[in-house]
C-alpha cells in the first residue's frame, strides 16, 4: 500500500506502482480465437437484422459475424470498415448495450446478446494488426476540401473524401489528432495508445494533410476556408463546458471533468497524476461516469457521483451505472449542488435534495463538473437549439459548408454517430462537387 493512499487533498501516487497498469488495463479484454468462434456461433443471421438497424453507421452485423464464424475475420473487418472507418474504436467505446446488443434477438431469447462489440473488435484488431487500411484512393479529382476537427466526425469525413480522390486538409486545434478518441473517453476503453494508432492507420489512405495546432478564429475562419477550398466540413465538437453557477466554483480542486480526463489520457505516468482523497463528480452522463470510475481507479478513497434527478433519468446507461458501482463509485441521486465550500481549496460541497428543502454536505477535496458541453462559436451559421443546424446530409445554412459530429444538430453525442455523420456529409460533398464538374 502506498503511503499516500489516504492522504488528504489532491495527491499523486495513491497506489502501489504496479497497481496503475492493472487498474487501467482493457475493460473488456480482446476475445481469443476460440472465444470469437464460440461467440460468433451464437448469431442467428437474422433477416433485416435489428442490430444493423440500431447501429448509427448501419454495419452489416450478421454478415461480419458470419465471416468471423467461417474463418475470415479480415473480410469481416472490411465489412465493418466500409461502413465505419473507426470501427476499431467504436468496438471499444460504443454503448452497445443501448445500440446493437440491446436489440439482439438473443436478448429476447436468453437476455444474453451476441457480443457484437467484442466480435467487432476481434475482426478489426485482426485486420489492423496485419495490414494497412484496406481502401484505395480513386483517381485524383483535383478538388480540395478542408475538414476542421480531427475527431471521429472529421476523420470519418476525411477518409471517405480521400477515398473518392479528393485532396483533404485536416485541421485540428490540439497538438494531436483524434479528438475525443484521444482526449476524452475512459482510458480503460482505449488502451495501448489505440486512438493514435488508429489515426495513423486511417491516414494511410493518403491524400490527407494533417495540420495540427490550428484553431478556428486564430487566423482560420470560414471566409478564408471557403475561398481556399472547394468545400468545408466542420467537425469541431463542443469546446465549451457548462458551469454550475454556484458559490465556490472557482476554488482550487474544482475542475471540469472533460479537462481532467484529457489530462489523464495524455499522462505518460499515471502515478504522477494527482487525485483527491474524496472526489465528488457532478453529472449523470458518460463523462461523469468515465471521470468517477477513473478517479476511483487512480486511488481516490471515496468517489461520489451526484446527479440531480433519478437513476432512470441519467443519460449514462444502466450498464455504465453498474460498471461505476462495481468499481466502488457511490451514486447519489436527486442531489442538486448549491454551494462549494473551502478556504483556498475545496473542502466540501453542499447539496439540496431535489424537490425538497433538505440539505446535505459531502466532504470533498476534489470536485469534477460533468454537466454537459456546448458549442463554442457558431461562426455565424444558423443554429438549432445549441448546435449548428444541419440537414440530413450535414449541409449547414451556408453553401459549401457541411458539419457533423457533436457540434451539429441531430443524433446522439456518440463516437459512432459522429462517424456516420462525417461519412454521410462526405458522400454529399462528393456528389455535390462532382455534379458541379
Partner 1 sequence: MADLTSNFLGITSPNPFWLASAPPTDKEYNVRRAYEAGWGGVVWKTLGEDGPPVVNVSGPRYGAIFGPDRRLMGLNNIELITDRSLDINLEEITRVKRDYPDHALIVSLMVPYDEGAWKEILDKVEATNADGVELNFGCPHGMAERGMGSAVGQVPEYVEQITRWVKKHYARPCIVKLTPNITNILGPAEAAKRGGADAVSLINTINSITSVNLDAMCPEPMIDGMGTHGGYCGPAVKPIAMNMVAEIARNPETAGLPISGIGGVTTWRDAAEFMALGAGNVQVCTAAMTYGFKVVQEMISGLSQWMDEKGHKSTADFVGLAVPKVTDWQNLNLDYVTKAEINQELCIKCGRCYAACEDTSHQAIEMGEDRVFTVKDDECVACNLCVNVCPVEGCITMRELKPGEVDERTGMTIPEDKRTWLQHPNNPGADPLACIVRGQ
CB of 43 or CB of 205, closer to partner 1: 43
- Packed helices 116-130 and 194-203: angle between N→C axes, nearest 10 degrees: 60
Residue 37 contacts partner 1 per CB under 8 A:
yes
Least gap, CB of 108 to partner 1 (angstroms): 4
Q: How many residues bind partner 1 (CB under 8 A)?
A: 14
CA within 13 Å, CB half, 265: 26
346: closest CA among 287, 279, 286? 279
Residue 45 contacts partner 1 per CB under 8 A:
yes
Classify residue 211 by burial, with Cβ atoms within 10 Å: 0-12, 13-18, 19+: middle
**In this chain, which stretch among 12-20, 102-110, 344-352, 356-364 interacts with partner 1, using CB under 8 A?**
102-110
Residue 384 contacts partner 1 per CB under 8 A:
no
**In this chain, which stretch among 36-44, 333-341, 356-364, 384-392 interacts with partner 1, using CB under 8 A?**
36-44
Pairwise CA distance, residues 72 & 74, whole Å:
5
CB of 66 or CB of 309, closer to partner 1: 66
Residue 32 contacts partner 1 per CB under 8 A:
no
Choosing from 26, 30, 35, 50, the residue that interacts with partner 1 (CB under 8 A) is 50
Q: Which residue is listed with cell 480542486?
A: 253
User: Cell triple for residue 121?
Assistant: 473488435
305 beta partners: 281, 331
Pairwise CA distance, residues 264 & 176, whole Å:
15
Least gap, CB of 115 to partner 1 (angstroms): 14
Kind plus residue range of the DSSP H or E element containing 232: strand 231-234
Least gap, CB of 46 to partner 1 (angstroms): 4
**In this chain, which stretch among 6-14, 104-112, 190-198, 219-227 interacts with partner 1, using CB under 8 A?**
104-112
User: Cell triple for residue 33?
Assistant: 480465437
Strand order across the 254-256 sheet: 254-256, 366-369, 278-282, 302-306, 330-332
Residue 105 contacts partner 1 per CB under 8 A:
yes
CB of 49 or CB of 371, closer to partner 1: 49
**In this chain, which stretch among 105-113, 272-280, 305-313, 344-352 interacts with partner 1, using CB under 8 A?**
105-113
CB of 106 or CB of 176, closer to partner 1: 106
CA within 13 Å, CB half, 326: 7
Least gap, CB of 354 to partner 1 (angstroms): 36
User: Cell triple for residue 408?
Assistant: 451539429
- Any residues with CB less than 8 A from the CB of 305 and at least 6 apart, and which? 280, 281, 283, 284, 288, 289, 292, 324, 329, 330, 331, 332
CB of 105 or CB of 246, closer to partner 1: 105
Least gap, CB of 430 to partner 1 (angstroms): 33
Q: How many CB atoms lie within 10 A of CB 259?
A: 13
Least gap, CB of 193 to partner 1 (angstroms): 35
Where does this chain bind partner 1 (CB under 8 A)?
37-38, 41, 44-50, 105-106, 108-109
Amino acid at each position: 500500500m502506498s503511503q499516500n493512499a489516504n492522504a488528504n487533498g489532491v495527491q499523486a501516487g495513491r497506489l502501489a506502482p504496479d497497481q496503475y497498469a492493472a487498474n487501467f488495463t482493457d475493460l473488456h479484454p480482446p476475445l481469443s480465437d476460440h472465444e470469437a468462434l464460440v461467440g460468433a456461433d451464437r448469431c442467428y443471421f437474422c433477416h433485416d437484422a435489428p442490430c444493423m438497424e440500431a447501429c448509427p453507421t448501419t454495419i452489416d452485423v450478421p454478415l461480419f459475424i458470419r465471416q468471423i464464424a467461417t474463418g475470415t475475420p479480415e473480410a469481416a473487418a472490411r465489412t465493418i470498415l466500409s461502413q465505419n472507418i473507426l470501427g476499431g474504436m467504436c468496438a471499444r467505446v460504443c454503448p452497445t448495450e443501448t445500440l446493437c446488443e440491446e436489440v439482439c434477438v438473443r436478448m429476447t431469447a436468453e437476455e444474453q446478446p451476441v457480443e457484437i462489440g467484442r466480435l467487432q473488435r476481434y475482426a478489426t484488431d485482426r485486420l489492423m494488426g496485419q495490414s494497412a487500411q484496406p481502401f484505395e484512393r480513386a483517381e485524383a479529382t483535383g478538388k480540395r476540401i478542408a475538414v476542421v476537427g480531427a475527431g471521429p466526425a472529421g476523420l470519418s469525413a476525411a477518409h471517405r473524401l480521400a477515398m473518392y480522390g479528393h485532396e483533404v486538409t485536416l485541421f485540428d486545434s490540439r497538438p494531436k489528432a483524434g479528438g475525443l478518441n484521444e482526449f476524452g473517453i475512459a482510458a480503460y476503453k482505449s488502451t495501448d495508445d489505440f486512438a493514435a494508432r488508429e489515426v495513423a492507420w486511417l491516414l494511410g489512405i493518403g491524400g490527407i494533410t494533417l495540420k495540427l495546432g490550428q484553431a478556428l478564429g486564430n487566423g482560420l475562419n470560414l471566409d478564408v476556408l471557403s475561398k481556399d477550398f472547394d468545400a468545408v466540413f466542420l467537425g469541431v465538437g463542443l469546446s465549451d463546458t457548462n458551469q454550475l453557477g454556484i458559490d465556490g466554483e472557482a476554488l482550487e480542486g474544482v475542475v471540469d471533468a472533460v479537462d481532467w480526463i484529457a489530462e489523464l489520457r495524455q499522462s505518460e505516468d499515471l502515478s504522477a497524476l494527482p487525485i483527491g482523497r474524496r472526489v465528488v463528480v457532478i453529472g449523470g452522463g458518460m463523462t461523469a461516469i468515465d471521470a468517477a470510475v477513473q478517479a476511483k481507479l487512480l486511488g481516490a478513497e471515496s468517489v461520489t457521483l451526484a446527479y440531480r434527478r433519478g437513476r432512470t433519468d441519467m443519460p449514462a446507461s444502466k450498464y455504465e451505472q453498474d460498471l461505476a458501482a462495481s468499481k466502488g463509485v457511490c451514486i447519489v441521486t436527486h442531489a442538486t449542488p448549491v454551494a462549494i465550500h473551502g478556504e483556498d481549496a475545496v473542502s466540501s460541497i453542499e447539496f439540496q435534495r431535489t424537490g425538497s428543502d433538505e440539505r446535505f454536505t459531502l466532504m470533498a477535496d476534489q470536485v469534477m463538473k460533468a454537466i454537459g458541453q456546448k458549442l463554442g462559436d457558431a461562426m455565424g451559421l444558423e443554429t438549432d437549439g445549441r448546435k449548428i443546424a444541419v440537414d440530413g446530409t450535414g449541409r449547414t445554412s451556408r453553401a459549401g459548408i457541411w458539419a457533423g459530429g457533436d457540434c451539429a444538430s441531430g443524433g446522439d453525442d456518440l463516437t459512432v454517430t459522429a462517424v456516420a455523420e462525417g461519412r454521410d456529409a462526405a458522400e454529399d460533398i462528393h456528389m455535390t462537387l462532382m455534379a458541379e464538374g
